[in-house]
Amino acid sequence: MQTRKKYIFFALLASWLLLFFFGGDQLHRFAFFSERKAEAQRNWPHWTDQSLLKSFADPEELQSDGDPSVPSPRERRAAQLSIYKNSRCRMETCFDFSRCEKRGFRVFTYPRDRDQPISESYSKILTSIERSRYYTTNPEEACLFILSIDTLDRDHLSGQYIHNVDEKIRGFPLWNGGRNHLIFNLYSGTWPNYTEDLGFDIGQAILAKASFYTESFRPGFDISIPLFPKDHPQHGGERGWLYQDSVPPKKKYLLVFKGKRYLTGIGSGTRNALHHIHNGKDIISLTTCKHGKDWERHKDTRCDKDNLNYEKFDYQELLHNSTFCIVPRGRRLGSFRFLEALQAACIPVLLSDGWELPFAEAIDWGKAAVVGNERLLLQIPSAVRCIPPERVLAFQQQTQFLWDAYFSSVDKIVHTTLEIIKDRLLQHRSRSRFLWNTLPGGLLALPDFSTHLGDFPFYHLQRGRILPAPKFTAFIRATSMAGSLSQPILRLIQAVSGSQYCAQILVLWSSEKPSLPSGKWPQTTVPLTVIQGRSKVSDRFFPYAAIQTDAVLSLDEHTSLSTSEVDFAFVVWRSFPERIVGFPAQSHFWDTEQRRWGYTSKWTNELSIILTTAAFYHRYYHSLFTEYLPARLRELVDGLATCEDLLMNILVAAVTKLPPIKVAQRRQHKEAGTAGGRHLSQQQDCLNQLVDWFGYMPLVSSQLRLDPVLFKDQVSILRKKYPHLDKP
């Protein structure tokens, strides 16, 4: 018995020794696991414990994990499905292409109801459509339809909110479930969530909307537009603030923001954190909570100090003197600040997660804006400091181009929207992103003319300065011929056909009398073709298929030129194919007494107009004149003397932002182009009507005249390349 107890004792002792050596560590961990876990939880610093964790935000900002007013992704998705019942719409599934095949791309606006109020902004949108070249008053011709009901402000707390939109649109016989309709919207949803609820079912309509969430955006179908104020100009618009003689890219301030700070609700998180990057030197970030009716009830400990600092800086001065401008989200994703920064050449730094940027389908925003992340705000200063000066200048130049091309007026915003839709209909003839993002922009590069860069006059520098082909077409407009050709036109045909660069001569027969038989036309070394025209002067700028060369020499039957003059002018034009290059020059001026634009044919040191009675230009301007400009302007020039010259010069200046070029001419041309009192009055009326339509004065003045080498120099005539230019 004693021996048995002894064996049991040694067995237990051995077991404890084995457990200690091989499992003691695990047992120790198991025994104290819960205690260590509790201790670890106690030692982890609280978010509001400033002695243990350095805080980058005020304690009250972090008391909760999130703003309850901010909808979650699931809530946004549910709201989206309730609003966009046709959320899978694409052009191929929700748009009737057959309506656009017969008459082309035509747009119809519903008749306006006098009893239905329309906001100033929506009235401008409808006016822009009616001013476009696509507008039609016949719904049977229409490819796209625009409601006359104002859908811009769908915040039901707004005074401009239209009730019962669903009932009204269902009563329209053309509605067809929204198919082939375009709906514009600037404000959707209301306090506190500001969802994308429009308050009515858009059906299969295309939605052109500001502050578009990427989650709700239907790619290739919807269009994101910018948020613009009600005083945004109808047409024309102000110029950008970056001029050729502006200060260098580096300005006084690197990064600025001045605006409202929301104390509660959606959008408050981003703006509440902006004060962290303010250093009072080259980064200025100012906010104020002094807005709204009950701001004092919600104000925090920073409000009084923020409001005091806010008044120390002028907003316009900050825009002028800063390189980058922070564009944070507001209650909605977009804000007016976006367009303000573009115009000021202050590179936008976007802090609006999930925003589908305006016209992103066409515009490459990576060349004009810095897209930041709201959660990485503290990285923004170091990120913008790393951008080299040459890149900063490229950003600034692109902001000016985009502002002028697409955003400076309601007309341009609306027309860009229409052109994007039109490109979707004919994708084989749509504009490339290069055309959209390069001067002069997509609105002025017509894909119906060509989609090849070499066919346009603007891109020779981007293509390695490839010059146009060394041939031109002489285009002579004849109006007052009798039974035989007059001596002036005979001499003109002989002089032009003698040019080594002349490929063909086209005569536009605009007389009511029948054209002369082919046997009565002079024999020339180049083909001579007669085109039967009408009595309208605008016909001279029609894009005739017979014009085969890029260069067009526009002439009148009474123009007098020598072969040397033609040769030299063409050589000059090949270096400047985007401009008008010619001989008779005139100028415009602002008449302070009459308070209107004046026009003079007197010889002065300045010129802004080259008469198309003797001028070279690119044939693309024929297409632009006929297809881009509305019919109303062409009717205007048909009724006023020499108005077609003004319109063509204004059109080219509006496209290029450059003046025409005058070349050397013989003394006998000095009185060419002078106008009598009646004609001069008509020209001035024409000029002011055109300026009113464009919304600004596009003409650019110049004091440049290009002469050949040794022109008028007292040297042997044999040393001169164009000797006949010196002869009287």
pLDDT at 297: 72
Query: Could you tell me which of 691, 689, 686, 694 has the C-alpha nearest to residue 641?
Result: 686
d(CA 91, CA 213): 20
Going by C-beta distance under 8 Å and a sequence separation of 6 or more, which residues neighbour residue 698?
A: 650, 651, 653, 654, 691
Res 32 pLDDT > 70:
no
Of all residues in the chain, the percent with pLDDT exceeding 90 is 58
Going by C-beta distance under 8 Å and a sequence separation of 6 or more, which residues neighbour residue 342?
A: 240, 348, 368, 399, 400, 402, 403, 407
For residue range 333-352, list pLDDT tens digits in order: 999 999 999 999 999 999 99
Which tokens is 441 given? 């922009």
Going by C-beta distance under 8 Å and a sequence separation of 6 or more, which residues neighbour residue 488?
A: 557, 558, 559, 560
441 φ, ψ (degrees, to nearest 5): 105, 165
d(CA 307, CA 318): 17
Res 62 pLDDT > 60:
no
- Helices (H), strands (E): how many in the chain? 21, 23
Going by C-beta distance under 8 Å and a sequence separation of 6 or more, which residues neighbour residue 254?
A: 282, 283, 322, 323, 324, 381, 384, 385
Which tokens is 442 given? 């997509």
Report in angstroms the alpha-carbon separations of 140 from 86, 149, 410, 630. Answer: 26, 20, 27, 20
3-state helix, strand, coil in the chain (%, to 5): 40, 15, 45
Asked if 100 and 143 count as a contact pair (C-beta separation under 8 A), the reply is: yes
Of all residues in the chain, the percent with pLDDT exceeding 70 is 83
Average pLDDT over residues 620-633: 93
**Residue 508 bridge partners (DSSP):** 477, 531
Q: Is 726 helix (H, G, I), strand (E, B) or coil?
A: helix
pLDDT at 19: 62
Nearest-10 Cα torsion for 544, 547, 548, 552: -130
pLDDT band at residue 481 using 50, 70 and 90 as cut-offs: low
Report in angstroms the alpha-carbon separations of 529 from 468, 505, 509, 588. Answer: 23, 6, 10, 36
d(CA 270, CA 292): 18
d(CA 124, CA 118): 10
Res 583 pLDDT > 80:
yes
Q: Which residue has the higher pLDDT, 398 or 103?
A: 398
pLDDT band at residue 122 using 50, 70 and 90 as cut-offs: very high
Average pLDDT over residues 167-178: 93
Average pLDDT over residues 194-201: 87
Catalytic pick among 222, 423, 550, 645 = 645
d(CA 335, CA 327): 8
The pTM of the full predicted model, rounded to 2 decimals, is 0.84
Residues in the chain: 728
Which tokens is 550 given? 């890029």
Lowest mean pLDDT across 49-53, 551-555, 688-692: 49-53
pLDDT at 55: 43
Q: Which amino acid, residue 277?
A: I
pLDDT band at residue 305 using 50, 70 and 90 as cut-offs: confident
The crossing angle, in degrees rounded to 10, of helices 677-694 and 631-639 is: 170
pLDDT at 399: 97
Q: Which stretches within 576-676 are classed as H helix?
A: 620-623, 631-639, 643-656
d(CA 661, CA 644): 18
Query: Could you tell me which of 333, 394, 334 has the C-alpha nearest to residue 369?
Result: 394
Which tokens is 556 given? 């009148």
For residue range 674-691, list pLDDT tens digits in order: 455 667 788 899 999 999
Average pLDDT over residues 45-64: 42
**Residue 188 bridge partners (DSSP):** 154
**Residue 555 bridge partners (DSSP):** 476, 614
**96 is annotated as an active-site residue:** no
Res 61 pLDDT > 60:
no
Give the up-direction half-sphere exposure of residue 549: CA atoms within 13 A in the CB hemisphere. Answer: 24
Going by C-beta distance under 8 Å and a sequence separation of 6 or more, which residues neighbour residue 287?
A: 257, 258, 259, 260, 261, 271, 272, 274, 275, 306, 310
Asked if 622 and 542 count as a contact pair (C-beta separation under 8 A), the reply is: yes
Dump strand ranges (E) for 340-484: 347-351, 370-371, 472-478
Average pLDDT over residues 177-191: 93
How does DSSP assign 662-713, residue by residue? Answer: EE---GGGTTTT---HHHHHHHHHHHHHHHHHHTS-----B--EE--TTTT-
Query: Could you tell me which of 291, 363, 377, 389 has the C-alpha nearest to residue 326?
Result: 377
Res 269 pLDDT > 90:
no
Nearest-10 Cα torsion for 73, 75, 78, 83: -100
Question: What angle is formed at CA 641 by the lines to CA 531 and CA 552, rounded to 5 degrees?
Answer: 40
Dihedral sign for Cα 179, 184, 190, 192, please.
Answer: positive
d(CA 335, CA 200): 24
DSSP code for 179: T
Average pLDDT over residues 511-515: 74
